[in-house]
Amino acid sequence: MFLLDSKFNYVVYNSVMELANLSLEAAELVRVAKKEDAGTIMRLLQRAAYAHYHVDWRLPADWIGNEGFVVHLEEEGQRRRWGSWGNGGLAGCLAVAADPPPGAWVRVAAIATRERPELVLATMLAAVLPGLRKTAVSQLAWLAVEEWPDSWLAPLGFYRISQLETYTKRQMNIPLLSPPLHPLTFRPARLDDLATLAEIEAAAFAPLWRHSGQALTQAFSQAFSFDVVERDGDVIGFQLSTRSGYNGAHLARMTIRPEWQQQGIGSALLIHTLQQYQTHGIRHVSLNTQVENIASQRLYKKFGFQPNGERLPIWCLDIGETVSGG
Q: Does this model's pTM top 0.85?
A: yes
pLDDT at 76 (0 to 100) = 65
pLDDT at 180 (0 to 100) = 73
Residues in the chain: 326
Distances (CA, A) of 42 to 27, 36, 60, 150, 282: 23, 11, 8, 24, 33
Q: Do 155 and 19 meet the contact criterion of CB atoms below 8 Å apart?
A: yes
CA distance 221 to 244: 16
Examine domains 6-163+314-318 and 172-303 and report if their fold is the same: yes
pLDDT at 85 (0 to 100) = 45
pLDDT at 1 (0 to 100) = 54
pLDDT band, residue 19 (cuts 50/70/90): very low
Q: Do 289 and 296 meet the contact criterion of CB atoms below 8 Å apart?
A: yes
pLDDT at 78 (0 to 100) = 53
**CA 83, 86, 90, 96 torsion-angle sign:** negative
Distances (CA, A) of 109 to 27, 91, 187, 196, 289: 17, 11, 38, 32, 24
Q: Where are the domains of the chain?
A: 6-163+314-318, 172-303
Q: What letter does residue 66 receive in the DSSP assignment?
A: B
Q: Do 27 and 127 meet the contact criterion of CB atoms below 8 Å apart?
A: yes
pLDDT digits 0-9 by tens, 227-263? 999 999 999 999 999 999 889 999 999 999 999 999 9
Q: Do 321 and 166 meet the contact criterion of CB atoms below 8 Å apart?
A: no
pLDDT at 84 (0 to 100) = 45
Percent of the chain surpassing pLDDT 70: 87
Query: In sequence order, what E strands does the chain have?
Result: 30-32, 50-53, 69-73, 90-98, 103-111, 139-143, 159-169, 185-188, 225-231, 234-243, 248-256, 284-290, 306-318
pLDDT at 241 (0 to 100) = 98
CA distance 148 to 92: 15
In this structure, of 75-79, 180-184, 283-287, the range with the lowest mean pLDDT score is 75-79
For residues 291, 296, 298, 304, the Cα torsion angle rounded to the nearest 10 degrees is -100
pLDDT at 116 (0 to 100) = 86
pLDDT band, residue 307 (cuts 50/70/90): very high
Segment 153-178 mean pLDDT: 93
In this structure, of 70-84, 123-137, 195-209, 309-323, the range with the lowest mean pLDDT score is 70-84
Q: Which CATH class is domain 6-163+314-318?
A: alpha beta
CATH architecture observed for domain 172-303: 3-Layer(aba) Sandwich (3.40)
Distances (CA, A) of 237 to 10, 146, 204, 243: 44, 32, 10, 21
Q: Count of alpha carbons within 13 Å of 174, Cβ hemisphere only? A: 15
pLDDT band, residue 26 (cuts 50/70/90): low
pLDDT at 299 over 60: yes
Mean pLDDT over all residues of the chain?
88
Residue type, 57: W
More confident residue, 324 or 188: 188
DSSP H helices in 16-58: 24-27, 38-47
CA 100 to chain centre: 12
Beta bridge partners of 32: 70
pLDDT at 27 (0 to 100) = 72
pLDDT at 148 over 80: yes
Report the 10 Å Cβ neighbour count for 60.
Answer: 22
In degrees, rounded to 5, the angle at the alpha carbon of residue 64 between the alpha carbons of residues 122 and 29 is: 40
CA distance 283 to 164: 23
pLDDT at 13 (0 to 100) = 37
pLDDT at 221 over 60: yes
pLDDT at 270 (0 to 100) = 96
